[in-house]
């Protein structure tokens, strides 16, 4: 047909010869454009179908058992130098295994001294004289006294517990003093009596120290006698020589102030004799952020008391655990210097408690930093974590604002961003390899990649870093590929720079890949300019024209984006000067960090999966365990690492742009860690994992192109193995309860700790 070339090829790439005056020619051109549009829409429909299916699969397996939404939220704040306390009462006396405390937040830590009425914690029983005065024995600071009974006759020392026999007859000392030669004899007598073992001397007897004016002979000879006891403790106080006067709680317990050496029992402001029991205290120091901490008790009692030391923090809930992992009902909670109505918040949500606790109901690993900071941004409080820019924490805060303050709410944004990576992987694979089979393979492998799955389910910022980084790579590579064909579109460079700035606003490590992209753009541009026989000054002018000039302009916009993420930081009272100071603070932290960690690993070992990171473990009953380990899918990582040799060879021998890009970005993001002296972890390799996937895809795509028949079976077999390994390791990368024997069987190396 004159004036029109017949289109050929699937996308009708042949040019159309224009005939301005021909109406029929215009109609034919319009038809061809419509046909091209239909083809593109049909292709896009196929792409979207694959993306939706793969994304739905990943989202479903990731959001399942992500975290509870109904958790204890009412709290009690403790800001005290110590001395106050509370005790928990049970309906009856029974064996208590532990008391579990759900910490909401600690500024430093919450310090406890815990005690029960268990015989295992019994130290001894003694009686004071009628003047109520008693010298404290040398038994250390971890002791609390209890006023059991009062008496008003002349019995000075009464019966000892355990059926102790009276002491041998002794010479009386009318002046109340003991000679040094008698100390050994007295000590031997006291240590022979059950309940007195461990005491240096009765009433801390020392040479030439008065013993309340008591005649020691009378004291010892009265060991078999019983006085008239008063059980009502109303009006009783205990006056210490150091620490002032204290009132016993309802159970009769009184904390011994630090440094006290004696006390006097008072009733209605008058000294009175008393039966005093000494009990052992157990000291604990608890810290964390929305996590359970266990206080081992292992005693039979109906009461557990807690005395606070210097403490600063919040507690959300307390449970008492008995035999068989049973939560023992709490009948009441009473305060010692703390309002009882306030303390009710510690035991008011027992029905929301998951026991034994798992990741479903508490924070784990670095969530203690990022979730806490996200919550503080929402409450306009001073942010706790300031060693990374704010954007990642603000994204986490968005999830909390929408879905509530709970494990699901603070993790869901990670799952969403991890899911959104799948279409990015698909389109980046399509740009790299120009086949839809390669795009499918790359995105399919990403669905079943261990680290992608595990990091998407934990509320840290690394998933957002990789997401923004991948988007930046997608636009950078598209710009690079187009510019090599003299099709410069600065809009691509704009989006590449903006997504880089968003990644940089989350974590500075995204800079490594950006440097690789800039060097690649500059290198390819210089290579193209070298072909022209022009002066170097002209080449430099052209290089500045693009990509340097537009890149610089877009970086200015990126800097504005970066600093705008600090607006919430300024909303809590910081100035712009503080924002600039925070940049130096972040750099100083990472440059001077000297901390060590058992799961740190050298950068060169990461592709080998030498040291996975054990994020979490909770041992359940019946040999079950909930454990989460961050590692790579070995079928992807090891195969992808081996395929890097193929990609390197292809980039050198064939000058393949896609291969050059994969190799360049992989090594630019990896080798920078060789210059870092601080301890690093396997998850720092996360931005490189997509390029291991692309390396594996490159080889499989080449096999497919050479032989579709054999390529299909090879690709199918490999993908089936990837899914099978994901299924096997799913319990240890997700926290799903499994048998301990099962998770142990998955350990291929000693360093693989699950």
Return the residue matching tokens 């500075």.
508
pLDDT at 544: 73
C-alpha distance from residue 602 to each of 50, 262, 339, 607, 684 (Å):
38, 58, 53, 11, 11
* 3-state secondary structure (DSSP) of residue 299: strand
Beta strand segments in 529-677, E:
613-619, 624-630
Beta-bridged to residue 89, according to DSSP, are 303, 332
Rounded Cα gap, residues 228 and 614, in angstroms: 63
* Residue 462: Cβ within 10 Å count: 23
Q: What pLDDT is stored for residue 534 in this prediction?
A: 65
C-alpha distance from residue 75 to each of 287, 293, 347, 356, 723 (Å) = 15, 15, 10, 20, 44
**Apex 426 CA angle, 420 and 429, nearest 5:** 135
Please spell the DSSP secondary structure of 70-86, one letter per residue: ------EEEEESS--EE
Which tokens hold the place of 495? 């989006």
DSSP state of 735: -
Strands annotated E in 514-672: 613-619, 624-630
Rg (CA), the chain: 37
Nearest of 636, 627, 648, 645 to residue 609 by alpha carbon: 636
Tokens 């109520």 -> residue? 132
Residues 103, 289: contact at Cβ < 8 Å? yes
Q: What is the pLDDT of residue 628?
A: 97
Q: How far is CA 100 from each of CA 97, 104, 293, 690, rounded to the nearest angstrom? A: 10, 13, 6, 42
Edge-to-edge strand ranges of the sheet holding 738-739: 613-619, 624-630, 738-739
Cis peptide before 356 (omega within 30 of 0): yes
The pLDDT value given to residue 25: 76
Alpha-carbon gap, residue 690 to 661, rounded angstroms? 13
Other Cβ atoms closer than 10 A to 122: 15
Interatomic CA distance for residues 754 and 68, integer angstroms: 23
**Domain extents in the chain:** 1-37, 121-281, 365-745
Alpha helix ranges (H) inside 405-510: 407-433, 436-447, 450-457, 462-483, 490-504
pLDDT at 158: 37
Whole-number pLDDT of residue 268: 86
Compute CA 316 distance to the chain's CA centroid, rounded to the nearest angstrom: 18
> Which residues does the chain have with pLDDT short of 70?
1-22, 124-131, 135-141, 152-231, 529, 532-534, 537-539
**Rounded-to-integer distance, Cα 161 and Cα 170, Å:** 22
**Taking a C-beta distance cutoff of 8 angstroms, is the pair 609, 682 a contact?**
yes
| DSSP letters spanning 37-73 | HHHHHHHHHHHHHHHHHHHHHHHHHHHTT---S----
CA-nearest of 669, 389, 370 to 505 is 389
State which H helix or E strand residue 213 sits in: none
Measured in whole angstroms, the distance separating CA 274 from the mean position of its chain's CA atoms is: 51
376, 36 Cβ separation under 8 angstroms = no
Tens digits of residue pLDDT in 348-367: 999 999 999 999 999 999 99
């Amino acid at each position: 047909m004159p004036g029109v070339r017949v289109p050929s090829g699937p996308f009708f790439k042949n040019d159309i010869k224009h005939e301005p005056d021909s109406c029929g020619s215009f109609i034919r051109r319009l038809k061809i454009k419509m046909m091209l549009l239909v083809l593109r829409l049909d292709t896009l429909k196929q792409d979207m179908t694959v993306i939706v299916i793969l994304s739905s699969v990943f989202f479903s397996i990731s959001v399942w058992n992500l975290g509870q939404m109904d958790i204890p939220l009412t709290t009690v704040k403790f800001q005290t130098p110590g001395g106050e306390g509370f005790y928990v009462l049970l309906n009856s006396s029974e064996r208590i295994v532990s008391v579990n405390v759900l910490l909401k937040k600690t500024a430093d830590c919450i310090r406890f001294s815990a005690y029960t009425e268990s015989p295992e914690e019994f130290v001894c029983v003694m009686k004071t004289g009628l003047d109520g005065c008693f010298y404290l024995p040398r038994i250390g600071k971890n002791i609390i006294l209890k006023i059991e009974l009062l008496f008003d006759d002349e019995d000075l020392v009464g019966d000892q517990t355990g059926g102790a026999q009276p002491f041998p007859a002794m010479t009386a000392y009318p002046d109340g003093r003991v000679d040094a030669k008698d100390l050994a004899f007295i000590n031997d007598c006291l240590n022979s009596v059950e309940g007195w073992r461990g005491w240096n001397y009765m009433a801390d007897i020392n040479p030439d120290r008065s013993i309340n004016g008591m005649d020691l002979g009378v004291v010892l000879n009265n060991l078999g006698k019983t006085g008239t006891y008063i059980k009502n403790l109303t009006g009783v106080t205990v006056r210490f020589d150091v620490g002032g006067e204290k009132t016993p709680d309802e159970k009769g317990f009184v904390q011994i102030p630090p440094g006290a050496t004696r006390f006097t029992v008072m009733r209605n402001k008058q000294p009175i004799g008393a039966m005093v029991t000494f009990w052992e205290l157990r000291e604990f120091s608890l810290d964390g952020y929305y996590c359970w901490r266990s206080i081992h008790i292992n005693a039979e009692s109906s009461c557990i008391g807690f005395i606070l030391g210097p403490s600063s923090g919040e507690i959300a809930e307390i449970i008492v655990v008995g035999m068989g992992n049973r939560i023992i009902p709490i009948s009441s909670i009473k305060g010692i210097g703390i309002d009882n109505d306030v303390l009710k918040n510690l035991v008011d949500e027992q029905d929301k408690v998951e026991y034994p606790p798992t990741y479903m109901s508490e924070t784990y690993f670095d969530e203690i930093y990022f979730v806490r900071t996200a919550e503080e941004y929402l409450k306009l409080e001073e942010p706790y974590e300031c060693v990374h820019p704010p954007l990642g924490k603000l994204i986490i805060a968005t999830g909390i604002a929408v879905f509530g303050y709970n494990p699901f709410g603070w993790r869901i944004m990670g799952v969403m961003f991890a899911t959104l990576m799948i279409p990015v992987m698909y389109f980046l694979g399509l740009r790299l390899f120009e086949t839809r089979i390669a795009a499918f393979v790359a995105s399919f492998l990403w669905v079943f990649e261990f680290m992608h799955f595990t990091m998407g389910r934990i509320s840290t910022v690394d998933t957002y870093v990789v997401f923004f980084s991948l988007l930046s790579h997608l636009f950078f590579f598209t710009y690079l590929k187009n510019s090599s064909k003299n099709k410069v579109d600065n809009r691509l460079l704009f989006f590449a720079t903006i997504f880089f700035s968003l990644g940089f606003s989350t974590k500075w490590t995204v800079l490594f890949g950006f440097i690789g992209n800039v060097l690649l753009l500059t290198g390819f541009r210089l290579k193209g300019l070298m072909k022209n026989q022009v002066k170097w000054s002209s080449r430099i002018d052209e290089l500045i024209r693009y990509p340097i000039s537009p890149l610089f302009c877009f970086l200015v916009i990126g800097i504005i984006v970066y600093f705008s993420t600090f607006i919430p930081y300024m909303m809590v009272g910081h100035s712009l000067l503080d924002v600039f100071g925070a940049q130096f603070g972040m750099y100083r932290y990472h440059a001077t960090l000297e901390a060590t960690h058992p799961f740190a690993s050298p950068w060169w070992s990461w592709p080998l999966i030498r040291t996975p990171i054990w994020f979490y473990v909770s041992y359940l009953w019946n040999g079950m365990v909930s454990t989460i380990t961050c590692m790579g899918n070995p079928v992807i990582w090891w195969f992808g690492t081996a395929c890097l040799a193929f990609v390197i060879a292809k980039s050198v021998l064939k000058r393949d742009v896609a291969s050059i890009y994969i190799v360049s970005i992989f090594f630019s993001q990896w080798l920078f860690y060789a210059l870092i002296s601080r301890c690093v972890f396997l998850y720092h390799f996360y931005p490189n994992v997509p390029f291991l996937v692309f390396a594996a895809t490159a080889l499989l795509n080449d096999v497919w192109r050479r032989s579709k028949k054999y390529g299909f079976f090879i690709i199918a077999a490999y993908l089936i193995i990837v899914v099978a390994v994901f299924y096997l390791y799913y319990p240890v990368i997700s926290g799903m309860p499994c048998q301990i024997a099962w998770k142990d069987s998955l350990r291929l190396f000693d360093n693989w700790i699950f």
